[in-house]
Amino acid sequence: MANIDLKAIDLKLLKEEIKILNEGGDLESKFKVVGTSKEKLVDAFGKAIDYLDDKEKNIPDTCINFYNSIFSEPEKTDPPADPPAEKDKKDKPKRKPPVASKKIASFEDIQERIKDPSNPTAHMDHLMLAGGKIETLIAKLKEYLDESKIAFSGFRTVSSVKRHIEYREEHGWVYEKDGDKIKLVGFKAKK
């Protein structure tokens, strides 16, 4: 959780967003809020949003906005021009609906699943299969999103990519790490 200012995060708002996720019913297990440190809540919230995004579940806008306020690094750009018209927002294609896929049991299953990526998360996994600097992978994903005109707010920062890698590692995916370079290299089934 490097580069996150815990003092700047409103604990009450964090707990409200966690309550929304708990009530949504899409998480494997509900958050325990009482007696949990702010740091652990922030980390669990980030992993939950990554999990829901990976499963292509609907994530409430308030949760996405709060997630971005915590984990997104401010971009160094010119001041924004006029906000886009509502029509422009509606013209962006939505992500494909989730389809049931077989459970990952081998590295070949991973390679097959991400061979033709159908969503931004699969596209990022596909990029990690080739490997490279995390910043380069983020830039390539941004190009993909711009070309496909898919609205997606994840993987904008190195820390969000690292959280995704941690999530994947918890589920058996194996990465080769060398400084700021990453490469998806295998799968180790849980015992």
What is the Cα–Cα distance from 4 to 27, expressed in whole angstroms?
A: 24
What is the Cα–Cα distance from 147 to 180, expressed in whole angstroms?
A: 26
Residue 99 confidence class, pLDDT cut points 50, 70, 90: very low
Q: Work out the mean pLDDT of the chain and round it to a whole number.
A: 79
Identity of residue 145: L
pLDDT score for 167: 85
Q: Which of 63, 58, 51 is nearest to 19 (CA)?
A: 63
Q: Which pTM value belongs to this model?
A: 0.52
What is the Cα–Cα distance from 36 to 26, expressed in whole angstroms?
A: 21
Tokens standing for residue 167: 């999530």
pLDDT of residue 107 exceeding 80, the answer is yes
Residue 128 confidence class, pLDDT cut points 50, 70, 90: very high
- Output the CA angle 164-168-172, nearest 5 degrees: 165
Domains present along the chain, CATH in parentheses: 1-71 (no CATH), 95-191 (1.10.10)
